[in-house]
Amino acid sequence: QSLPRVLSGIQPTADSFHLGNYLGAIRQWVAMQETHDTFYCVVDLHAITVEHDPELLRQRTRVSAAQLLALGIDPDRATLFVQSQVPEHPQLSWVMECMAGFGEASRMTQFKDKSARQALDRVSVGLFTYPVLQAADILLYQANFVPVGEDQRQHLELTRDLAQRFNSRFGRTFTLPEAYIVKDTAKIFDLQDPTAKMSKSVPAGVVELLEDPKKAAKKIRSAVTDTGREIVYDTENKPGVSNLLSIYSALTGKSVADLEKAYDGRGYGDLKKDLGEVVVDFITPVQASVRSYLDDPAELDKLLAKGAERARAVAAKTLAQTYERVGF
């Protein structure tokens, strides 16, 4: 009952999650259900900070939720919900915006990166305040831990600063969240450019969980490998092979050392062919499960409504206390 609480969110901005999302984040979400009181949300409010198509967003939100379920998020253990169904998120966000300094928010490097090379009138205020909404997402649930990658560290620092500031001005209201550094997180690299992380932008280098398995296997077989022929884990000199070994190890549970041994004296072609099969074996049942969730929209809606209701029970309490302290 008193398990430490975790909050994490994922954006519904693509048609499918990719292997990097799974091995770098979602897999840990699944594992944490055993050890933490977990709150996971599909952060659709964050998805409209840039131009978007409403019907596509609706579709992607459902598909994202279906994928999380298919990948092992158990709605009886975790509180799985869609952010826009819990109105306390933007409500708390406004209060937090009034706690944040303009200069402080201006220093967020992700905003600087995302807004660079654009006319400022084309950049939404929402993109600017995004990290404040993220702070509200976390603080609403009194989360003790937030699993974060390097790129989100600064936002978590902001969250802690805002919580601390509010607490000292108005009385202790928010738990200060800590970064949860997950062990065995695989950082997955692009198959065509193994020095860049696997991301949505370069299709040939990204294995999507919902893509045609034959296509996925082909992408693995066409992955860039390195000079030389030995199959050894060496991120410096063999980033391509090392990436394939990390994926292989993460999906099968075999250690990299065991894989190196198993492929001793064999070529890149063998490794890629076998890994292609491993990937197919992984995504095929996931796709069947996603389909079964999407084939029963009423049931999926019901499940998400239940999650939102559970989330609101916690969020409403935090918001009521916050409003009372602020003087509403």
Q: Of 91, 110, 175, 199, which lies in the binding site for ligand ADP, with binding defined by CB under 6 A? A: 199
- 131 near ligand ADP, rule: CB under 6 A: no
Reduced 3-state DSSP string for 208-250: ECCCCHHHHHHHHHCCCCCCCCCCCCECCCEHHHHHHHHHHHH
Q: Which two tokens stand for residue 303?
A: 């499940």
Q: Are 163 and 132 in contact (CB under 8 A)?
A: no
Is 95 or 209 the residue whose CB approaches ligand ADP more closely?
209
- Say whether 114 is catalytic: yes
Total number of residues that touch ligand ADP (CB under 6 A): 13
Is 196 or 313 the residue whose CB approaches ligand ADP more closely?
196
Nearest residue by C-beta to ligand ADP? 24
- 124 near ligand ADP, rule: CB under 6 A: no
Stretch that binds ligand ADP, among 21-29, 84-92, 105-113, 265-273 (CB under 6 A): 21-29
Annotated ligand binding at 197? The verdict is yes
Quick check: helix, strand or coil at residue 82? strand
Side-chain-side CA neighbours of 296 within 13 Å: the count stands at: 10
- 12 near ligand ADP, rule: CB under 6 A: no
- Say whether 200 is catalytic: yes
Closest CA to 326 of 31, 91, 103, 38: 91
Is 198 or 311 the residue whose CB approaches ligand ADP more closely?
198
- Say whether 306 is catalytic: no
Residues in the chain, overall count:
328
CA–CA dist 28, 203 (Å, integer)? 25
- 252 near ligand ADP, rule: CB under 6 A: no
- 192 near ligand ADP, rule: CB under 6 A: no
Chain mean position to CA 208: 14
Give catalytic residues, as residue numbers: 114, 197, 200
Binding site for ligand ADP (CB under 6 A): 10-11, 20-21, 24-25, 149, 187-188, 197-200
